[in-house]
């Protein structure tokens, strides 16, 4: 089950590893994505802090860590083909984080709450 931030990242937990991506809403708002700057493997992430960067034809934006932990994997395919996010944002991930504090999950939105949140924007 995906959980969402107010900054439009999603996280899906498997054990203590969270797969992280951008919501379809965010990708739609950004337009055609032209560049993704991925974090470094081994880098520590703190919930709510900028961890990566994305550029599109419309805007440039930070990507924020939905959970605290350590970056254990990045989707290197995005370096050569950032448009993969436009094709399927909900299934194209950006990074994987080994979560250090699972209680932070309680601060994220489920799909229904996220839908309500984005409807109000």
3-state helix, strand, coil in the chain (%, to 5): 25, 40, 35
pLDDT of residue 107: 98
Q: State mean pLDDT over 94-118.
A: 98
Distance CA 51, CA 70 (A): 11
Helix (H) or strand (E) holding 28: helix 24-30
pLDDT of residue 35: 98
Distance CA 97, CA 17 (A): 6
Number of Cβ atoms within 10 Å of the Cβ of 8: 24
Helix (H) or strand (E) holding 119: helix 111-119
pLDDT by residue (tens digit) across 49-99?
A: 999 999 999 999 999 999 999 999 999 999 999 999 999 999 999 999 999
pLDDT of residue 48: 98
pLDDT of residue 61: 96
List the chain domain ranges.
Answer: 2-102
**pLDDT category of residue 119 using cuts at 50, 70 and 90:** very high
Under CATH, to which class is 2-102 assigned?
Answer: mainly beta
């Amino acid at each position: 089950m995906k959980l969402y931030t107010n900054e439009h990242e999603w996280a899906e937990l498997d054990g203590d590893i969270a797969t992280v991506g951008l919501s379809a809403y965010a990708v739609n708002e950004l337009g055609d994505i032209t560049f993704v700057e991925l974090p470094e493997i081994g880098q520590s992430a703190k919930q709510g802090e900028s961890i990566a960067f994305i550029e599109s034809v419309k805007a440039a934006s930070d990507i924020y860590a939905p959970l605290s932990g350590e970056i254990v994997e990045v989707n290197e395919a995005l370096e050569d083909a950032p448009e993969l996010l436009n094709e399927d944002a909900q299934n194209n991930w950006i990074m994987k984080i080994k979560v250090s504090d699972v209680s932070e999950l309680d601060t994220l939105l489920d799909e229904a709450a996220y839908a309500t949140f984005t409807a109000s924007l």
